[in-house]
Chains A and B, each alone.
Chain A
């Protein structure tokens, strides 16, 4: 397999293809006749999934931290580059995305009845944005993709949503846009600080890594980034946009939102917040706040979920609880915690995605989301019932399913450092049963009273094709998660080592140095050396001569850039 991939130069073009080919698909959908749109969209995304599978082999767990890297100048004036890269973490986020997309599209064949072309075009646009987020190495590029995901999602909720879709869409948009604007300010400030050390302009993550910042600056920047990501995750108390968005969104929207978009937040924490602002991330107050919010999310969201009359809203709140496990896993900053957090992200993507798909199938049949309208369905729809039970069990973390591995590792990792908070979080396993089992019972079990439910058809072949891969993955990842864990391990170890170590050493620092050297060779100056001298970063100007050189290389004819002006 590896040889084949080498022969076709897979690692050179794979990431670019995965980002931009969806746009080509979008074009195809827009040009195709209305009734062919969904089939083209499904075929295209399914092909992209197969294409993305190559990443499994192309990514070498023993190899460098970031692989399949590329870097091209984009806006040379500001040092913005089109830089991509993949580590063990983004590998699985990309795979989760490429897997979820075709299934979400296949699952929406009956649900989406109007403006089909526009809908599937937006789904493909969304895929470009998401894959871009997970593979961007450049903060500016990351921000662009991060914002790009907002637009299609806004329309998906606002156009194809339920009754209160406008309210939900605007709330979703404003909430997340507000957070990300602050992040933009943070990115620009960080950039300016890096420029101030005399380094050539760059938004590249590895160039910005290790930018000298005072603790106060770190805390402010942390807050700016954390707000954006906390809203996205969502962390209590920034979660109230989620139930509304989920309830109003059409099935595929909910699926993508829960399975992938929420992970943008936790991914942001892992990829950028922890390494860029390590002192803030291990600041006792910050850690306590984040852990406490995580634990509150786990318990509080479980309670609120338990009393929801609307099945979709219930599942929406369970997302908040699940993401609480991710948050505590991340901020406990242990290898097990991070691994667990990542496994929860993957597992939640699979199981909650499947839950929304199943609820969508029920909605298509009965046009209701109210739990009380169902009951006794296990007798009429045994296949759907089997899928729902397995999915629910995976969602509440039964051992042998993917949910257990994640929760277990996240809690274990948190317990290693914060036993009391981990103990509180562990009550989440009780409350998970408290919200999930009554819903399962009230939908599948009890007497089959409503005559409308009596004639309900069971899963169609298409629906089985949507759910079967997800159910299989829940069990496969629960029984044998090691191949996933060991691929994420280097990246996780690198983050923990870098953030935990006062000298900021380890593979991440080495990767940054290597990138710096490569970049310096490309640019043709040793300007970055200034930053590698301890303490040098605190004095702002570098020597004027070298700056002139840089200026002449990079933006001839311009007056320079604000960051380097005194």
Chain B
């Protein structure tokens, strides 16, 4: 098998670099073992709960029970924590080594036919390593947070089983060494997403949301599959190493195959990363427990599309149309989703649309060939968006307890019912404020550096030559507008939730409380990362200005350089074909000036929004009877996109299904069959005339028929 040869060659090549992977298989195995253990415990808990239900007893609480509480509490986070430690060790080892080619470890031949050989193989390189760090690191924090958040839930062990399984599949997605392996992770995380969105499956809406996520994702997976097929037909293999090596020779620049492959991959990425037009599942996905939203629907799974484009950078560099499509989809999504976020009241919905919008930024980045910038924003976003979701989780947790204490049936997630929470939850408030400033793009917080870099590359991507100048200029403008909107909706969220006077109710307010330690600690760690995370990649061009702290901030361009072995060949192709990036924005001005404008505008917008929202008279949701009108109504109803899809796609398919069944199957086909049967029955009656009961008659007819058949055969 060529795959095996490749693997051996790569393994041999890697040794001189000095990096020897430390138990990479164990990084995958740990979450899997966690899943199996917690899954078994979950079944035990489920069987026990079912018995209680059948006998009509009240379900017992898990807390303090060894099998369904203590064990999952340790197994769930510990497996991911150990995986993080192992990943860090590998990361350190890779840091000290000159690794130019990825290291591939093959475990067994997965699918082999005469012409195809797909191995169960993993690949370690700079890109997968940085992703693994984010997944296991942020994943571990969210597992710890969940211990406090899910404590009272009847499905506690089952929850950790799903969460462990998710990390396992996410790592497969990232570490896979060929496209089918990535697809295993790709659909695997989709499955976990489905199970976790519908975690509280008794609630029909939540179960519906999980189903919607799965089906919409499968539309994307359809594209991914076609891309895989096309790659196999073109390359005869599906291994990254071979495909990316040979792509410049096998595929013609801008040719039909390259374009088709990238567009199909893009369809997959759009589905998984919730981009226009397939973003509709993500806001609904907020039905899941909030830590799930933080891990799956903000920090990791939804960024898989960005990873895919960065991973297949060579292919996108060879298909300028495909790359431009990525950038366009990204910019459109960034702006479109940001508008909807402006007028949502559900705290998680705001964050959901914010995530869609920020993913759009990442797409814009990788679309204009700035792969490192896209991955950079992916990383910083993982920090501050996970923090925002976990903070929102802490708020909802507290609100829920308060409302539950007095049996008030208000919505615990509606920001109109909150207000003034900073007095009750100071740590949550401070950490969320840090995250808000970070996502708004204010220096020196993490979001400033990563978002600024994407916008800068988008503005300068037209560069010298190339046919996409006008397009990139428009996308740049859209990104700037989206950045301004980001600052607005995030400030609105922060002020409505934490500032002003409390609207929950006097009796309820006394039950509001700060989150427990297991929830606070992850918040604080993520808050630190939301500040310093951006310093990993201070652009060289601004390092000596105030933005680089006049050279004080360390690690200039570190991530760019770190990812270079992975991204270089794609960047080379792009520069050779489309030319390099310009040194000034489309309307003039250098990087430092635009950095100053961006952070200045963001700051002003934050202050203005804060003042405007503070002055607004906000009333609890039940008393908010003034109907929205005009643009606000459209924004509140999310531009009616769900309604449109329902009318244009869902209902026609259902109608076609019913038509197929009732008319084609039952009447046309079966009608014909039964009619033929009726005719046959007529013949049967005719035949029965010969059923005389006399053996001699039968023998006569038999002989006659046999002769007839033989006669027919001969002549």
Contacts and interface: CB of A to CB of B under 8 A. Distances in A.
B53 A399 contact: no
B151 interface: no
A400 B207 CA distance: 23
B215 A433 contact: yes
Given A409-B116, A430-B219, A482-B108, A379 B53 contact: yes
A562 B714 contact: yes
Interface string B655-673: 0111011001100011001
Contacts of B49: 379, 382
Contacts of B218: 429-430, 432-433
Given A438-B211, A485-B112, A412 B232 contact: yes
Interface stretch (A37-45, A157-165, A216-224, A298-306): A298-306
B111 A482 contact: yes
Given A303-B653, A437-B211, A438-B211, A379 B202 contact: yes
Contacts of A77: none
A448 B200 CA distance: 12
Residue of B111, B112, B188, B713 ringed by the most chain A CB atoms within 10 A = B111
Contact of B116 (A336, A378, A444, A454): A336
A208 interface: no
Interface in A73-122: none
Contact of A408 (B115, B180, B186): B180
B207 A445 contact: yes
Interface in B105-163: 108-116, 120
Contact of A304 (B180, B183, B657): B657
B626 interface: no
A308 B677 contact: no
A382 B50 contact: yes
Contact of B207 (A411, A427, A446): A446
Contacts of A188: 709, 713
Contacts of A446: 201-202, 204, 207
Contacts of A454: 53-54
A361 to B, nearest CB: 15
A489 B53 CA distance: 51
Nearest to A308: B661
Interface in A390-448: 393, 398-400, 404-405, 408-409, 411-412, 415-416, 419, 422-423, 426-427, 429-430, 432-434, 437-438, 441, 444-448
Contacts of B665: 240, 304
A565 to B, nearest CB: 7
Given A189-B713, A304-B665, A386 B222 contact: no
A481 B43 CA distance: 28
Contact of B215 (A192, A335, A383, A434): A434
A415 B233 contact: yes
Which of B46, B49, B203, B714 gathers the greatest number of chain A CB atoms within 10 Å? B46
A237 to B, nearest CB: 5
Contact of A400 (B184, B214, B228, B664): B184
A381 B50 contact: yes
Contact of B188 (A174, A307, A379, A400): A400
A171 interface: yes
A172 to B, nearest CB: 12
A447 B214 CA distance: 20
B221 A448 contact: no
A444 B229 contact: no
A376 B50 CA distance: 11
Contacts of B194: 437
A463 interface: no
A409 B230 CA distance: 13
Interface size classification for chain B: 35 or more
A58 B230 CA distance: 39
B260 to A, nearest CB: 10
A336 B113 contact: yes
Contacts of A562: 710, 713-714
A399 B50 contact: no
A307 B214 contact: no
Given A382-B47, A430-B215, A430-B222, A419 B670 contact: no
B116 A412 contact: yes
Given A174-B677, A378-B201, A335 B714 contact: no
Given A303-B653, A379-B49, A399-B184, A445 B660 contact: no
A397 B110 CA distance: 16
A36 interface: no
B191 interface: yes
B111 A306 contact: no
B198 interface: yes
Given A382-B50, A437-B211, A171 B202 contact: no
Contacts of B22: none
Interface in B198-244: 198, 201-204, 207-208, 211, 214-215, 218-219, 221-222, 225-226, 228-230, 232-233
Contacts of B208: 441
A355 B710 CA distance: 47
A482 B109 CA distance: 7
A430 B654 CA distance: 14
Contacts of A445: 198, 201-202, 204, 207
B680 interface: yes
A356 to B, nearest CB: 20
A438 B229 CA distance: 29
B657 A565 contact: no
A240 B673 contact: yes
B215 A437 contact: yes
A455 B673 contact: no
A458 to B, nearest CB: 6
A303 B665 CA distance: 11
A69 to B, nearest CB: 24
Interface string B623-646: 000000000000000000000000
A492 interface: yes
A295 to B, nearest CB: 14
B187 interface: yes
Given A400-B184, A437-B211, A307 B658 contact: yes
A393 B669 contact: no
Interface in B72-119: 108-116
Contacts of A419: 229-230, 233
Most buried by B among A382, A393, A489: A382
B110 A493 contact: no
A380 interface: yes
B110 A480 contact: yes
A383 B669 contact: no
Contacts of A427: 222
Contact of B115 (A336, A415, A426): A336
A404 B473 CA distance: 43
Contacts of A532: none
A419 B653 CA distance: 24
Contacts of B226: 415, 423, 426
A339 interface: yes
Contacts of A505: none
Interface string A229-242: 00000000100110
Interface string A149-177: 00000000000000000000001001100
B39 to A, nearest CB: 8
A429 B221 contact: yes
B46 A382 contact: yes
A376 B49 CA distance: 13
Pairs of residues from A and B, 4 with the lowest C-beta to C-beta distance, nearest first: A382-B46, A445-B201, A415-B229, A303-B657
18 contacts: A240-B665, A240-B673, A303-B653, A303-B660, A336-B115, A376-B201, A380-B54, A383-B43, A393-B191, A399-B180, A412-B116, A422-B229, A434-B653, A437-B194, A446-B202, A455-B54, A456-B54, A493-B114
Interface of B: 43, 46-47, 49-50, 53-54, 108-116, 120, 180, 183-184, 186-188, 191, 194, 198, 201-204, 207-208, 211, 214-215, 218-219, 221-222, 225-226, 228-230, 232-233, 653-654, 656-658, 660-661, 664-665, 669-670, 673, 677, 680, 709-710, 713-714
